[in-house]
Each structure stands twice: as structure tokens, then as C-alpha cells.
Structure 1
Amino acid sequence: MVAALDNPALRGIYAITDSHLLPDDRSLLGACETALEAGIALLQYRDKSADDALRWRQSDALAALCERHAVPLIINDDLALAQRLQQRWGASIGLHLGQEDARLSEARERLGGAAIIGATCYDSTRLATAAAQAGASYLAFGRFFASKTKPEASPARLSVLSEVATLGLPRVAIGGIDIDTAGQARAAGAEMLAVVHAIFGMPDIAGAVRALATAVDATAAVGQR
């Protein structure tokens, strides 16, 4: 099972697409290719539309891009789509589940032990423990800061990241992560920083990815002194 803290795919910048910021195939694929070239660790495809043909077309094209850059593609909340893509592209296809989506244990059984499967845990050590026991590869917490993508989301405490350290799984910080907040989230214990607007809402996507990575590296360097 892909869950170890030393897995390089589960450290760094985790870019999440947004259908409002990237409204068509051309903008989506162009922006994601730029982010991949700039060095993101994971890419999540998130589209809540009911257009199954569009979602298959876009996710399949993103899987091809991710394969070229050796970066896992994570599908948001759609186990059936992830399984279909996995049959075509292999174990590099993963899944992220919220608390109202398919059961994590079922996803693990259907996608196999090598797939990256993440779980939304909000601000809860209880949810994190349950997700770890069900086979999660990483645990996502937030929102930690004011979010442009989900402004209505309940706030979370940065301290929850240290509280779940004993579970031994990579921790993802999400919600308002940008160049000003990335260092705080990393210093609090997040191995990955999930970013939407501060990458795909920026005019210079590659520069945004590199700036976020620099902020994370600088925080890590300070912590090692």
C-alpha cells in the first residue's frame, strides 16, 4: 500500500483543478501541463459536473500528461471514474474521497494496494484515525486559511497536523494555501500543500508553483537548523 512518509509522490505541492478557473479542455490541459513541468508532486482532477463524457475525456487526457511527467493523477470523489482510468493507465491513478463519498475500504478493495487514496478529515483526529485504519494513503485537513475556492468551509486548527503525526501517514493542508501561508502549513507538519487558486488562478502558473516550492523548502531548511 502506498502510504509511507518517504514516498516522494506524497511530499510537495499538490495541485487541484477547478472547472471555473479552467473552463474548457484547452485551458485545463495547458495549465496542468505547465504545472507538471514546474514540478508539482500530485495532480487532482476535480469537476463536479454531471457531464460524464466531458469528465472522461478530460481525465483521460490528464492521465496521459501525468504519465509523461511521472506524476500520479488523483480523481476527486468518483470511484467509478478512477477505476475506469486505472484499467487504462494502471496504478498511477488514485482517488480522493470526502466524508460523503464512497467508503474508503471499498475504494481500497477496488483500486488495489498500490493506488494512492486520500481522505478528507477536516479538523478531526477521529476521522483521520478511521481513514488510516481503512487504508488511506494520506490524510487531508483544512481549511486552515481563508479560501477562495470554498469560502464557506469551516476553519481548522493547524495543531491538528501535529496531533495526527503518530498515525504515520502524509498530511495534506488545504484551504487558502498560497505564497503567504505555505510556510505556516509546512511548519505545522504538512508534508503536502494542496493548492487551487494560488496555482490555477495565477497568470504565471509555473512561477506560482516554483514560488510555493521555494516557500516550503525555506521552511524545511529553517526547521533543520
Structure 2
Amino acid sequence: MNQRHKNFSRKSSGLYAITPDEPDSDRLLERVEVVLAAGATWLQYRNKSADASLRAQQARMLRPACARQEVPLIINDDWRLAAAIGADGVHLGEDDGELAAARDALGTDAIIGASCYDNPERARNAVAAGADYVAFGAFFPSPTKPNARVAKPALLSGAASLGVPLVAIGGITPDNGTSLVDAGADLLAVISGVFDAPDPDAATRAYLSCFNPPH
């Protein structure tokens, strides 16, 4: 597993929690703090419905909360915002610009991830360009992206040779997550399964149990 950046001295396996589209910044912080305290490994700030001003405000609010728990804060799509607030990294989709530009802006210590959907060649190219992790999915029907491309678990086992953490996303539950971990996923990325759960603390712990199933 890639250890060349200082952020990877922390865990790079477990729950990769992704924030919901929450317009109330105080409520977002409250919701996130529960998930961080329950053991989320990484946090990605994502709010597709917010304008630039609100995204900047919310991302800045989340940064100290993540720092207190030693959880990397990664910004969805926008490396400029990540640079502006001093986030730990950025996650880039296929339409979010060149990875090299993000690296130049964020520096060598930043965590930069790439969405690779169902495409192993895209993952290879991303790692060659300096990506620190790659994400595949959707593995299961997702309420967040109902029309997402479908990925197969074999993608994870096939990508093991890339030598970076592998993130699985898309409709993941505590019941089906273990199969993805068994296939090679290092992190399970989840939005609604955590933040829309009746008990986000319990949901977070349930996802973490996928990595240490009872014997």
C-alpha cells in the first residue's frame, strides 16, 4: 500500500464517510462529529447543492473537527477549495481537471484520489499520474447516483497490483460491504448508509465491522 505521503501514516482502511447535501452548516457539523467519533477513517466533504460560498464555509468548519480526530479531510471535485482551506486532499472525477494541476496546488503531502468507475485502465493511468488512491463503483444500486456505471468486485482484486488503497462506492451496506473487503477494498465509501441511518454512530461501527468480522 502506498506510504509515500505523510497522511498515510494514519489508517488507510475502513470507512470513508462522504457528507450529504446538508444546507444547515451547524447541523452538518453535528452529524459529522458523530461519525468521526464513531471511528470513520477518512471524511470527504461533498455538497452538490451548495453554492461556492456555502461550500467554503462548510469545508472550513469541518477541518478542525477532522483534525481533532486525526481524520483526513478530502474535498470532492474542487482542488482549489481544498487548497484554499488547507484540506488534506481532494477527490477528482473524470470531469474535474488534471491530477497534475491538483498536485501542483496541494503539494506532495496531499491525498489525491480518482474516480475510476468500472474502468481499470483509468485506474492504472491515475496511479501513473500520481493518484494516492483509486475508487471504483457503483457496486450496488445507489440512491445518490441511481444511473451510475456498474462495477464488479473482480475489479478490486484485479487492481491489487496498483499498490494504492482501493475505495469501493455505491449502494454499500454493512451486509454487502464484507464481500467488497474480501475482494480487495481498503475503504468503503458511504453517504446515505451512514448519514441517513437512524443511528449514525451504530451505522459507522457496523461498516467498520466489515473489516473485522466476528469469528
Whether these two folds match at TM > 0.5 is yes
Structure 2 equivalent of residue 36 of structure 1: 36
Contact conserved, 1:182 with 1:215, CA < 8 A, in 2?
Answer: yes
State the identity %.
Answer: 46
| CA–CA separation in structure 1 for the residues paired with 2:27 and 2:198 | 12
The runs of at least 4 consecutive aligned structure 1 residues that moved more than 6 Å come to: none
Structure 2 equivalent of residue 12 of structure 1: 14
Structure 2 equivalent of residue 24 of structure 1: 24
The Cα shift of 1:50 comes to 5.4
Match of 2:204 among 209, 217, 222: 209
Q: 1:176 to 1:50 in 2, by over 3 A?
A: closer
Amino acid of the residue matched to residue 3 of structure 1? Answer: N
Structure 1 equivalent of residue 157 of structure 2: 162
| CA–CA separation in structure 2 for the residues paired with 1:114 and 1:56 | 21
Corresponding position: 1:137 with 2:132: yes
The Cα shift of 1:26 comes to 2.2
Contact conserved, 1:31 with 1:200, CA < 8 A, in 2?
Answer: yes
Counterpart mapping for 1:95-174 below 5 A: 95-174=90-169
| CA–CA separation in structure 1 for the residues paired with 2:105 and 2:176 | 36
Structure 2 SS opposite 1:119: strand
| CA–CA separation in structure 1 for the residues paired with 2:50 and 2:199 | 30
| CA–CA separation in structure 2 for the residues paired with 1:107 and 1:10 | 21
Aligned residues: 212
The Cα shift of 1:8 comes to 3.6
- Using the size of structure 1 for normalisation, the TM-score is 0.90
Question: Comparing both structures, which one devotes a greater share of its residues to helix?
Answer: 1
Match of 1:94 among 89, 100, 106: 89
Output the aligned Cα RMSD: 1.7
The Cα shift of 1:215 comes to 2.4
After superposition, the C-alpha distances for 1:117-150 in whole angstroms (9 at most, x for unaligned) are 1000011111001100111110000000111111
Amino acid of the residue matched to residue 3 of structure 2? Answer: A
Structure 1 equivalent of residue 64 of structure 2: 64
Contact conserved, 2:142 with 2:170, CA < 8 A, in 1?
Answer: yes
The Cα shift of 1:27 comes to 2.0
- Using the size of structure 2 for normalisation, the TM-score is 0.94
Structure 2 gaps of 5+ residues are none
| CA–CA separation in structure 1 for the residues paired with 2:211 and 2:144 | 21
Contact conserved, 1:98 with 1:120, CA < 8 A, in 2?
Answer: yes
After superposition, the C-alpha distances for 1:41-71 in whole angstroms (9 at most, x for unaligned) are 0000001245222111100000011111111
Structure 1 equivalent of residue 51 of structure 2: 51
| CA–CA separation in structure 1 for the residues paired with 2:208 and 2:188 | 9
After superposition, the C-alpha distances for 1:5-60 in whole angstroms (9 at most, x for unaligned) are 974432110000110xx331122111100000000000000012452221111000
| CA–CA separation in structure 2 for the residues paired with 1:128 and 1:95 | 16
Structure 1 SS opposite 2:115: strand
Contact conserved, 1:85 with 1:93, CA < 8 A, in 2?
Answer: no
